[in-house]
Amino acid sequence: MAKYYDVHPVNPQQRIIGAVAESLRDSALIAYPTDSCYALGCRVGNREGVDRIRSIRDLDDRHHFTLVCQDFAQLGRFVQLDNDVFRAVKAATPGRYTFILPASREVPRQLQHPKKKTVGVRIPDHVVTQALLREYGEPLLSSTLLMPGEEEPMTQGWEIKDRLDHSVDAVLDSGDCGTEPTTVIDFSSGEAEIVRRGAGPTDRFE
């Protein structure tokens, strides 16, 4: 059964954040809130965690996983950016965007798009997520918690706990965080391509 944590949305309890960070180091798969709906997350390099996410969401090997990073310095370790793309991405972070970029050598091959050798990255603007990333010290390998055949993600932690009780190891609940996923911008060619219009405004990329 999944552990259920009721987290304060403004002042997240340090003991809870510490416990969840430790469970991630021990290869846990968690459901957690972000600034644009809930996500599934695990340690980078956790192959079982990746397989569990694929199973929960019924994903194929072409799915772009996302590395959810604490800040731009961390993000820069995992992707390659030229000056123009650097400025465009930095101006939009933290925020409700996922950027698809060429992966650096630090990204495990199984997380890269099999043909394009790219990976999704983002820096969320969410108090609880940022507290967890700060305590954990590494990015989270993540995917939006959108169940197969459903048009909108789940928004309530108790519902996630009920439905995924035997599929995840922990659920963090800090209240409703919306149903709209991130806006996805593909910069792998050097030019902005809007792949998905979501919570982040797209005018700056058009």
| pLDDT reported for residue 112 | 75
Which residues, 6+ apart, have CB-to-CB distance to 145 below 8 Å?
Answer: 31, 37, 38, 39, 40, 57, 153, 154, 160
Set out the domains of the chain in order of their start, with CATH numbers.
3-205 (3.90.870.10)
Closest-CA residue to 169 (of 18, 19, 44): 19
Cα gap 5→19, rounded to integer Å:
10
| pLDDT reported for residue 10 | 96
Cα gap 21→23, rounded to integer Å:
5
pLDDT tens, per residue, the chain with 206 residues: 999 999 999 999 999 999 999 999 999 999 999 998 899 999 999 999 999 999 999 998 777 789 999 999 999 999 999 999 999 999 999 999 999 999 988 888 777 777 788 999 999 999 999 999 999 999 999 999 999 998 888 888 999 999 999 999 999 999 988 888 899 999 999 899 999 999 999 999 98
Instruction: Please state the pTM of the whole predicted model.
Output: 0.94
| pLDDT reported for residue 105 | 87
Residue entry with tokens 């043909």: 115
| pLDDT reported for residue 206 | 86
